[in-house]
Structure formats: structure tokens, C-alpha cells
Amino acid sequence: MIDQLTKYAAKLAEAGLCAPGEPLLAALDAELCLSHAGDARQPVADAVIYGLGASALLLAEPIGACQGTMLALARQALEAGQSAVIPGDCETRTFLHDLPVVDGESTGDLANAIIDALKRRKGCIVLHQGRALMAAAGSVSPEQTFVTASSMAFACFVAYFSQHLHAARAGRLTPKRRAEFARIRALLLADLARLPSAQPRLLPGPFAGADQARAAMIEAGRAVVEYGLVDSSFGNVSCRQHTPDGELLLVSQTGSALDELSGLIDPCRMDGSSCVGLTASSEYSAHKAIYDGGPARVILHGHPRFAVILSLDCDKLDCPGLGDCHRACATPRAVVVPAMPAGEATADGTAADTASPLLIPIVPGEVGTGPYGLCNTLPQALNAEGGRRGAIVYGHGLFATGREDFREAFATLLEVERFCREEYFRRVAELDQQSSSA
């Protein structure tokens, strides 16, 4: 059990969410186990885990832009008389719902305040000594607390930057808000500096059999996590592969971490004659529909943060469909990445050979096979005009395709996210300038 606790504490640090050695994880096995001894928060952790009857608990202080965004949102919520932060991304709607805020600065019983919050939700934000802390409980394993914490960090990041852009559109930026935004942007730039700059070397296709395809999937999944293009286990990867027994759709299992896919890839028969897909990704039906109707041989799905943020941005501030955008937005929208100069190296290391911009449509869609399911909205967008390299699902993430291997799909993820980040700050600056000069 100690190995599990130290593993997930280390993964939070590797993701840049916490300082090395900072997260405190606790688990009830034969006895209470801790990721490390001597932490001043141990009495609170003891009281919370026993008070909840949970199997695992995480107390951790995020760093960088995640600390900045989480702290700002939690303070805003309390100042507005609200008890929770309510992000609008897909992960929050389906997994977190909202993020209770515990005012640890004024409560006299911090442990019981956290217990009350974690009885209602998987995780909560704790304001304590001028900082934001994350608390997350697990009923089965320490991994659950890691997934919740990384999802909280993602949700707060997306919510803060989305709200700031919305405020800029509405002309509601104050000097205080601008100064706070400048501080958080500086933290973000420092965070980005830790990410790899060299392009990953991914296996070239076509793949010589299902085993090589699995190896390529494992490699691509690890790269998506390493480059900060997905959080926790909310992403998936698949490959359509010819075999002597027919075509297989190899797809990551539901809930699997993309950087640990070994043994977690399901071989689903494309003709539907196998039930192996019962443990496959919750977006398996969307992957299959994309393959059935288009030229893609691989699909790589991540949650690049600024791609998600731009998908939430709309200039129709009084649209009658507000609140239902994630299911049935009727306004065609897209991200258009400008063409690179011919010969310039692209994200996959090859030379740009086209003067055409990269059109990435933004579509609504929910996980699953219902009337608003991704299997109905995403294939149409990706397979239009002979096949597109990617599409962003509103508030959810980017699905990128490749016609031969994962190099093209990964390049799309990286190029689109870099453009969306630059475009985000361009929009904020332009809107703020327009507001100031009005």
C-alpha cells in the first residue's frame, strides 16, 4: 500500500500540480498508511479518513497556475455567498458536479468541515493559511484520489480562464481582476517552461500487426500525458488494425491512465461479433463510428486546456440556447490554425507541404450513445470533406486522427493547443483594449 501512496503522490508532482514530496496520501489497510511521516496535516487526515470511513484520502497543495486559479475561484465563491465552485467543463458535469469550498480560515473544526464536504462530493477546495488545498477521498483505492485531484485542477484552470475571457467580452474587467490575471499568467508561463520542447519520437506506421499497434498506442498515450495534453485518466486512444481474422478496433479501456496502458487495451472486432468492448473506453462507440465512415486509422483524444477553453468561448452573450451548448449548440464554430510556411517543421517533425489552414470544428456532444451522444456528432465533423485531422467537443477535449500512425494525430493535438493558447491571450488583449477605449 505504501508503494501505491508514494506512486500517486509522485504522479501529482510529475504532472506539475504539486511540489515533490508535498501531497499527503493516507489509506486504510490493515492499519493506517501514509505516503510520508511527519506531515503537520496528519491529525486532520486521520480524523477525516476515519470520520468518512473512506479507504483513501489525499490532502495536497497545488502549485503554479493551478494554485492561482483554484484560489481565485474559491475566494470568488465565498465572496459571492456561494458554497461551491461550479465549472462548466465536461469532466465536472459527469464526474465532479461541483467543487465545495471549505473556509478553513474561519472554521474552528477543519476536519469536520472537510468531512461534511466529502460526504457530498469526491473532492473539495480548502482555503487554509492564504492558500488553496485539495482534499479528495477514495472508497476503493488511492488512485481515485489522484484522479479526483487532477480533475479538480483541470476544472478550475478551465473555469478561471473561461470566466476571464467571458468577462472581457462583457466589458467587466476591473483593475483588480486584471492584476490577478497577470499574476496567474506569469505562473502559467513558468509551468509551460517545464514541458518538453523536443518532439516525441513515435513509431511510424503502418503497423505490422496488433502487437506493434498496441506498442504504438502505449507510446502515444505516454507522450500525451508527458506533454500536458491530458489530465488523469480522462482521454483515450485507439487504432484500427487489419489481422488475419478480420479488422480489430484496439481501444484503451475505460478509466485507464494514458501513461499506463500496458495490459489495458481491448481488441474489439469491427463487425461487432465480440463483447470484449464491454470494458472499452466510454467513447468506444464514437471511435467506431469515426472509423466506419472515414479514412482514419488511429484516434488520439486528449484534453488540451486552451482548446477546451476556446470551445467554451462564444460572442453570442444573449443566445437563447445558453446552458444547453454542450448538447445541442446550433451555431457552427471552429478553430482555424493558420497554415505554416512551406518547408517549416511541423509538430511531428516533418516539413509543412501545404498552404491550407487547419480547420478544427467545434461540436456539441455527450459521452454515450443517446440522442446527443458523441457517436452522432463527432463522426460527421471528422469525416466531412474526405476527413479532417481533428475536432473539438464543446467543453470536453480534442479528438485527433491519423491516416497511418500516431505522429499526425499527436502533431494535431500539439499544434492546435499551442495555437489556442496564443489565440486565447490575443482575444483577451483585443477585447480588453476595445473595452478600455469605448
User: How far is it, in rounded angstroms, from Cα 324 to Cα 405?
Assistant: 36
User: How far is it, in rounded angstroms, from Cα 432 to Cα 438?
Assistant: 10
In which band, very low, low, confident or very high, does the pLDDT at 93 lie, cut at 50, 70 and 90?
Answer: confident
Of 94, 125, 157, the residue that ends a domain is 157
- Number of domains comprising the chain: 2
Which pLDDT score, from 0 to 100, does residue 6 have?
95
- Cell numbers representing residue 112 in the block: 469536520
Asked if the structure places residue 165 within a domain, the reply is no
Give residue-wise pLDDT tens across range 32-42: 999 999 999 99
At 372, give phi and psi (nearest 5°): -105, 20
Give how far the C-alpha of residue 225 lies from the chain's centroid of Cα atoms, to the nearest Å: 10
DSSP 103-141: ETTT-S-HHHHHHHHHHHSSEEEEEETTEEEEEEEESS-
User: How far is it, in rounded angstroms, from Cα 335 to Cα 427?
Assistant: 13
What 8-state DSSP symbol labels residue 276?
G
Same domain? For 153 and 215 the reply is no
CATH code, 62: 3.40.225.10
Of 96, 126, 157, the residue that ends a domain is 157
Neighbours of 399 (CB within 10 A): 33
Same domain? For 16 and 117 the reply is yes
User: How far is it, in rounded angstroms, from Cα 282 to Cα 339?
Assistant: 34
Same domain? For 43 and 109 the reply is yes
User: How far is it, in rounded angstroms, from Cα 57 to Cα 139?
Assistant: 9
Asked if the structure places residue 438 within a domain, the reply is no
Asked if the structure places residue 205 within a domain, the reply is no
- Cell numbers representing residue 76 in the block: 470568488
- pTM: predicted TM-score of the whole model, two decimal places: 0.93
Same domain? For 232 and 322 the reply is yes
Q: Over 80: is that where the pLDDT of 429 sits?
A: yes
Give residue-wise pLDDT tens across range 144-158: 999 999 999 999 999
User: How far is it, in rounded angstroms, from Cα 371 to Cα 119?
Assistant: 33
Asked if the structure places residue 174 within a domain, the reply is no
- Domain enclosing residue 96, as ranges: 2-157
Which pLDDT score, from 0 to 100, does residue 262 have?
95
Give residue-wise pLDDT tens across range 36-63: 999 999 999 999 999 999 999 999 999 9
Name 24's bridge partners.
Answer: 59
Name 298's bridge partners.
Answer: 239, 402
Same domain? For 95 and 230 the reply is no
Q: Over 70: is that where the pLDDT of 282 sits?
A: yes
Asked if the structure places residue 305 within a domain, the reply is yes
Same domain? For 145 and 241 the reply is no
